[in-house]
Structure 1
Amino acid sequence: MGERGRVSLGVGWITLFLIGIDLFVVSPLLPFISDAYQVSSAMTGWMVTVFAITYAIFAPFFGWLSDKNGRRSYITFGLVLFVISNILTAFAPSFFWLIISRILVGLSVAAIAPLLYAIIGDIAPPNRTGTWLSILASGHLTALWAGAPFGTLLEHFLGWRSVFVALAIMGLILAVVNFITWRNEPKSNSTRNLLGGNLLRIFGSVSVTASWAIAMYALYVYLGAALYSEIRFSSSEIATAIIFYGIGAVIGSLTGGQLTDRFGEKKISKVTLIFLTLVLVCLGIFFTSGIWIYFLLFLWALVGYAGFTSYTARLVVEYPNDRGSAMAWNMTALYIGITLGSMLGGFVISKWGYTFLPYVCSIAAILSFFLSTQKVKETKMESAV
């Protein structure tokens, strides 16, 4: 990897880490925000909900625009909006404006995250696409377990508003850095109207990601409650379990990229989905086995995120001219899967309890595998174009 490659990946990694921190830092701050605005915890939870909805709606729009007009300007726009919206979050005069600020954050991240995946896919060497994307993805996954401690520590010394001020300052620096870094971005060869045909093919492809997200998050959302209810884990033991999961996710992402470059995107994405199904079944069988749960959570995340990285690389290869749109719809499918997974998990818990969740997730994983074996053909309209 040359110096330019290291710089590009470093900038992308730090940027995804920053917006990941913004997403994962909100949860531990909700009690303090509730007190500040005198609203219930359920109401403050809308800060996360409106972010996810806005992101899912607008990411495909920015992906389509970036395929036609280039990615640099939209990434820079997203980071500038990220700065403004986090300042508004820090100093919102009312809870209404706080919600508005999180909508704007969702809009800003929609213009950043999928386009970074697309631009790294643009510049990565053909035989190193998986590795480059896995390094990029590890920035977001690192924020998964580092975001909460960062926010809690800063809140303890300076108050919860300081967290968003810090995010705004870092975002401003990265807006300048990204604008400089991507000044020589490759030009897109996309000349077709995406709505004319390729969109259906993309929908078929990203349905794999939606099913994968259900397999990963229907249980993860309720993991702390499940560990407490079924094994009587203490808060420190639950935190340790989450750390094992987070480390497995980072290692899995990096390992998945290297395996993808060596054996191919299709092969690794399918193999990991099979192993994910088996690991989830084992997790269901041995969920109450005590200390073994740490290893199983590590293995679950390791296999799961190796598969996500390899499938992302597969989309990058399969959609060379619509890469921004494919990455954006893939992220939208991810959020849809997370939402459906959390809803499904709640239903399963109310009917059969926590220990049944891993088996339901395994069904979603095997569905994802079968979807990944299907090939959605291009429509006649696209072929004509």
Structure 2
Amino acid sequence: MFKLTTLFFLILFVIGTDTFLISPLIPTLQHLFHIPTEYSGWMVGAYALGYALFALIAGPLSDSWDRKKVMLSGMICFSVSTMLCGLATGFWSMFLFRFLAGVSAAFTAPQVWASIPALFPAPQIVKVSGIVMAGLAASQAFGIPIGSHLASSHWSYPFFTIGACALLLAVFIFYALPELKPNQGPQTKTPIFSRYLPLLKSRMARRAFLAHFLFQCGFFAAFAFIGKWVTDRFHLSIDQTGSVMFFLGLGNIVGSFGGCYVIKALNRYNTLVAGFLVSIACFIVLPHLPSLAAFESVYFFIFVHMGIVFPLILGMLNSLNRAIRGTISSLANSIMYAATTLGSWIAGLIYAAFSGFYAVGIFAAVCFAGSLLSFIFSGILAGDAKPKKEPAA
């Protein structure tokens, strides 16, 4: 099972690198393509928009098809569309190619999360999910800085490199991943969008997915403009910005690998509440910090929190209905990228309107507060909130 864990780790690493790469490149591409600040967030949002729209289709389809074929096709298309980004000649061509890359990723990444419960025994699922999530974290710690350093030579090099790596992974998928044909049940004959009805009818599911949306909206609104803010505030070059991203990504890796131990010690309820409350305080103070070192230290904690709670949230959502895990995984990813689209767009508007990051930090804090309340009132954490009874003597 080691090779499958490695494969899933690398898939999330490559897709995550491509997802977040635009953040440190925003100042360069903004200057190159003559894009005003209030529209620059759409270079992040285009990818997220393609992902958000097509994940809604990819999820139900994947519950009826061989997941291996879906993952393989998605990775090949992802490779091609990412390399096309390196050939973009302006804002609209970049928007189109980023949109297509997001569509391709929507048919690939959710299959990873949906495949883990099918391929690994129950006791290993949490551990494997944490390792795979570390691939996403590693993309921030290593992929983005490497991409930033490549971009210091020419902005297109990261896109060509990521596209080539994705093509190699497609070969790996073809030879290493077993067929994952669906169980033939009533859900496989249900119309695509009707498979969302059990989730839409559940108050717990509605509130849990709303909480997921607010969490991602706040985080990615702040994340999308980290590169621009540190460039404006501390006058960093693109490779220096990549080094900042490396340090923050380490926080995500720490959270991903250590999250299972934190949750075991505190339980899910206390982990979410404590992490969200401290993160809210961090977003509020971030814009007022006097030095780059202080900024990195505070944001490091936010990324640790992200690494802990993201796989936890996906695990909770997938437990809502075990018969439609592919649908749930894709809906969760679709919501995440819809939140990325909205968050990066709003962040661009308020960054330009208020000439700085402090309004973005407040927006992120408000989103996190709403997310925490939605998780609590959804009831999905009810069992963890109750104190455990001591055994009778």
Taking structure 1 as the reference length, what is the TM-score of the superposition? 0.80
Q: Identify the range of structure 1 (122-131 vs 316-325) with the bigger mean alpha-carbon deviation.
A: 122-131
Alignment match of 1:214 (pick from 214, 217, 221) = 217
Name the counterpart of 1:288.
289
Contact in 2 for aligned 1:215/1:362 (Cα 8 Å): yes
Name the counterpart of 2:166.
171
Deviation at 1:112, TM superposition (A): 0.5
Name the counterpart of 2:248.
245
* Amino acid in the other structure paired with 1:278: V
Name the counterpart of 2:390.
none
* Amino acid in the other structure paired with 2:105: V
Distance between the aligned counterparts of 1:150 and 1:239, measured in 2?
7
Q: 1:351 to 1:270 in 2, by over 3 A?
A: farther
Q: How does 1:144-155 map to 2 (within 5 A)?
A: 144-155=140-151
Contact in 2 for aligned 1:244/1:297 (Cα 8 Å): no
Contact in 1 for aligned 2:252/2:303 (Cα 8 Å): yes
Distance between the aligned counterparts of 1:248 and 1:88, measured in 2?
31
Name the counterpart of 1:16.
12
* Amino acid in the other structure paired with 2:272: T
Equivalent pairs, count: 365
* Amino acid in the other structure paired with 1:78: G
Distance between the aligned counterparts of 2:304 and 2:88, measured in 1?
39
Name the counterpart of 2:138.
142
Q: Does 1:40 align with 2:39?
A: no
- SS of corresponding position for 1:68: coil
Deviation at 1:289, TM superposition (A): 5.5
- Give per-residue Cα distances to partners, 1:287-338, cap 9 Å, x unaligned: 4264444332211211233111211111223332111111111112112222
Distance between the aligned counterparts of 2:235 and 2:339, measured in 1?
29
* Amino acid in the other structure paired with 1:68: S
Contact in 1 for aligned 2:35/2:91 (Cα 8 Å): no
Name the counterpart of 1:103.
99
Q: 1:172 to 1:68 in 2, by over 3 A?
A: same
Distance between the aligned counterparts of 2:142 and 2:242, measured in 1?
12
Q: 1:88 to 1:221 in 2, by over 3 A?
A: closer
Q: 1:340 to 1:190 in 2, by over 3 A?
A: farther
Identity of aligned residues (%): 22
Q: How does 1:313-328 map to 2 (within 5 A)?
A: 313-328=315-330
Alignment match of 2:367 (pick from 364, 369, 372) = 364
Distance between the aligned counterparts of 2:92 and 2:252, measured in 1?
35
Contact in 2 for aligned 1:221/1:342 (Cα 8 Å): yes
CA RMSD in angstroms, aligned pairs only: 3.5
Q: Does 1:271 align with 2:274?
A: no
Distance between the aligned counterparts of 2:360 and 2:23, measured in 1?
23
Distance between the aligned counterparts of 2:198 and 2:93, measured in 1?
38
Distance between the aligned counterparts of 1:355 and 1:296, measured in 2?
14
Q: Does 1:182 align with 2:177?
A: yes
Q: Identify the range of structure 1 (365-374 vs 245-254) with the bigger mean alpha-carbon deviation.
A: 365-374
Distance between the aligned counterparts of 1:348 and 1:85, measured in 2?
30
Distance between the aligned counterparts of 2:90 and 2:283, measured in 1?
44
Deviation at 1:110, TM superposition (A): 0.7
Q: How does 1:294-305 map to 2 (within 5 A)?
A: 294-305=296-307
Distance between the aligned counterparts of 1:163 and 1:222, measured in 2?
19
* Amino acid in the other structure paired with 1:220: F
Q: 1:207 to 1:293 in 2, by over 3 A?
A: same
Deviation at 1:70, TM superposition (A): 3.0
Distance between the aligned counterparts of 1:86 and 1:66, measured in 2?
23
Contact in 1 for aligned 2:219/2:364 (Cα 8 Å): yes
- SS of corresponding position for 1:322: helix
Distance between the aligned counterparts of 1:87 and 1:223, measured in 2?
25
Q: Which has the higher contact order (CA 8 A, sep 6+)?
A: 2
Distance between the aligned counterparts of 1:300 and 1:161, measured in 2?
30
Name the counterpart of 2:112.
116
- Give per-residue Cα distances to partners, 1:34-74, cap 9 Å, x unaligned: 89xx8423588654432221111001211111112231111
Contact in 2 for aligned 1:284/1:357 (Cα 8 Å): no
Q: Does 1:131 align with 2:134?
A: no
Q: How does 1:365-380 map to 2 (within 5 A)?
A: 365-375=368-378
Contact in 1 for aligned 2:46/2:99 (Cα 8 Å): yes
* Amino acid in the other structure paired with 1:319: N
* Amino acid in the other structure paired with 1:275: G
Taking structure 2 as the reference length, what is the TM-score of the superposition? 0.78
Q: How does 1:184-199 map to 2 (within 5 A)?
A: 184-185=179-180, 187-188=182-183, 191-192=186-187, 193=190, 195=194, 197-199=197-199
Distance between the aligned counterparts of 2:61 and 2:261, measured in 1?
31
* Amino acid in the other structure paired with 1:309: P
